Every structure is written in C-alpha cells, then in structure tokens.
Amino acid sequence: MASIQLGTRKEKATRLIRKATFRERVVKDFKRNKYVYAMLLPVVAYFLIFHYGPMYGVQIAFKNYDVTKGFLGSPWVGFEHFVEFFKSYYFWRLIRNTLLLSLYSLIFVFPAPIIFALLLNEIRNMKFKRLTQTITYLPHFISLVVVVGILVDFLSPQGLINQILSVFGVDVTNYLQEAGWFRTIFISSEVWQTVGWGSIIYLAAITNVNPQLYEAAKIDGAGRFRQIIHVTIPGILPTITILFILQLGSLMTVGYQKIILLYNPLTYETADVISTYIYRKGILDASYSYSAAIGLFDAVINFGILVLANRISKKVGETSLW
C-alpha cells in the first residue's frame, strides 16, 4: 500500500517536472525567438486564411450551401451531392476524359524532357548546346493565353496549318471544333511547352552521375548508346521517380487552365474534365455545394494516389518524397 502510494507520488512528481520543463521550453523558445515568431505571424496567417480557410469551407460539400445563411447556417445533407455526381450523366465522361488526358500526358509529355536531356547531354559543342537550351526554354515563359491564342489562330480553317496541308491535298478541317482532334492538340502543345524547361532538372541530375561509371562502362566496351542505357538512366532514376510520383499526385487534375481556354461546347465530348466541370458548375452556374463535393472527391483521390505511389516507391526503389 505504502509502496504504491510512494510510486504514484513519484510518478506525479516526474510528471510535474516534465510538464514544467515543457512549459519552460515553450517560454524560453518564445523569449529567444520573439522576433522570429513576429515574422512568422503574417506567413502563418496567410496559410491559415487562404489555404486552411478553403479546407474548412469544403464542409459545404456535405451541406446545401445558401449564401444568406453562410457556412455554418446551411443545412447538412450528408453525401447527397456525391451521390448525385456519381449518378450524373456526365460522371463517366468526365472520369474517362480526365484519366485519358492524364494517361497520354504520362506517356508523351512526361518522358519528352528526359529524352531531350539525354540527347542534349550528348552534344559536345557547348555553344550549340546553349543555343538549343535558350530556344527550347522560351515557351515556358509565354502566357497560356498567348499559347492558346496562337493555337487558335494556326488551327482555324483559314489558319497556317490548313494552308500548309491544303498544298498536300488535305481537306480544310476546323480542328478546334472537332472532338476527335482535341486530345492530340492538347498533348502535342503540352510537349511543345514543356520539353525544354522540363529538361533542366534532368540535366542537373545527369551532371551528378559519377564519371568513373562512364570510364568503367567504356572499358567494358560500351558505346555511347549503351552508356546512356546502363549508366545515365540508372543515375537519374531517383529524379525521374520523384517527378513521376508528383505527376501521379495530380492524375485527376489535368491542366484545366489551358483546357478552359482551348475547349468549346463542340469538343466537350473529349475535352471536358473534372476540373473544368467544377469551374462551369461552381463559378458559372453557382451550384456551390455540388461542385465543392466534386472538388473534394477529386482532391481526396489525388492525395490518396500520391501517398500510395510514394509508399510503393519507398518499398521498391527506396526513393520517396518524404
């Protein structure tokens, strides 16, 4: 009995000491860093308001949001909006379009800068190499509106593409009005925009590959091509993996800012993706709760894929984001 009492008192005492030390640490830390915390204040406030604010606001996905009643006053409806979306006529079309554009991006847009970096690395003339870089980085700095503006002009019935193709006897086509052409236009212009700029990170990774590995490969009789396959690519694989995981994390959100500029009702059949649908429903039609529900569905899937891909990569290749 006595020993038990003794024990609890001892525990209490240590707990008190621990508590005190924690509080002391906080106070000491705050005293030492008071100016640092003053600096952090506007930064933390920004993230709380403009990033965590919308996360708090996402509750309207489970409510019938009414502007006059506000976030808290609007009545709960549970998963009604999610069910409505899953049952909607557009659901499968949106999923199909989103996943297909993402898949084509993974197949064509993602590897393009890798291949470009590998080829560029083989250019021995430094001046020529720098010229190539200067020119191919350029599209990255051009605004989306200008890129799409040029596309619209070139692909119009009177545009440059039709003018050139008519020489070869190809019939005039209004490419941007035909659903069948949308994916090709979107993906190829995406390659055009990103191939140069995307290569920077891989070029940096290539310079970090141990030069002795190339020497060893040469002694083993490997030519340039084999050196690329057996030394360079394995050397930059961690970088490729990281960027691939990040890309997977936005599988459900393809570049909607570009699609909104590029599509029209005639091409919705192939061009309308989840994010563009959210934009039309939420901003243009003001169906706030319904579109917030779709947005949440989208964000949760994206985050889930990211976490999953990261975990798999950690197990298989020991490369991961966190």
Per CB under 8 A, which of residues 25..64 are in contact with other proteins?
25-26, 29, 32-33, 35-37, 39-40, 42-44, 46-47, 49-58, 60
Closest to other proteins by CB, 93 or 227: 227
* Mask for 64-103, x = binds other proteins (CB under 8 A): -x----x---------------------------------
Determine the Cα–Cα distance for residues 93 and 96; give it in Å rounded to an integer: 5
Determine the Cα–Cα distance for residues 80 and 83; give it in Å rounded to an integer: 5
Integer angstrom CA distances of residue 101 from 115, 150, 151, 224: 21, 21, 18, 34
User: Is residue 154 a contact point for other proteins (CB under 8 A)?
Assistant: yes
Determine the Cα–Cα distance for residues 44 and 40; give it in Å rounded to an integer: 6
Structure tokens at 60: 């309207």
Closest to other proteins by CB, 98 or 239: 239
**Closest distance of CB 266 from other proteins, Å:** 15
**Closest distance of CB 141 from other proteins, Å:** 5
Choice from 190, 306, 309, 313 touching other proteins (CB under 8 A): 306
Choice from 4, 5, 87, 141 touching other proteins (CB under 8 A): 141
Local structure of residue 173 (DSSP, 8 states): -
Choice from 261, 269, 301, 314 touching other proteins (CB under 8 A): 261
By residue count, the chain amounts to 322
Site for other proteins in 199-228 (CB under 8 A): 200-201, 204-205, 223-225
Choice from 1, 167, 219, 316 touching other proteins (CB under 8 A): 167
- Point out which span in 4-12, 83-91, 178-186, 281-289 binds other proteins (CB under 8 A): 281-289
For Cα atoms 118, 258, 281, give the angle at the middle one, nearest 5 degrees. 140
Determine the Cα–Cα distance for residues 281 and 185; give it in Å rounded to an integer: 25
Three-state DSSP class for residue 76: strand
**Closest distance of CB 119 from other proteins, Å:** 5
Contact criterion met (CB below 8 Å) for 289 and 61 = yes
Structure tokens at 114: 């890798």
Cα 80 vs. chain centroid, distance in angstroms?
A: 29
**Closest distance of CB 4 from other proteins, Å:** 36
User: Is residue 266 a contact point for other proteins (CB under 8 A)?
Assistant: no
- Point out which span in 3-11, 84-92, 179-187, 277-285 binds other proteins (CB under 8 A): 277-285
Contact criterion met (CB below 8 Å) for 115 and 203 = no
**Closest distance of CB 155 from other proteins, Å:** 12
Contact criterion met (CB below 8 Å) for 278 and 293 = no
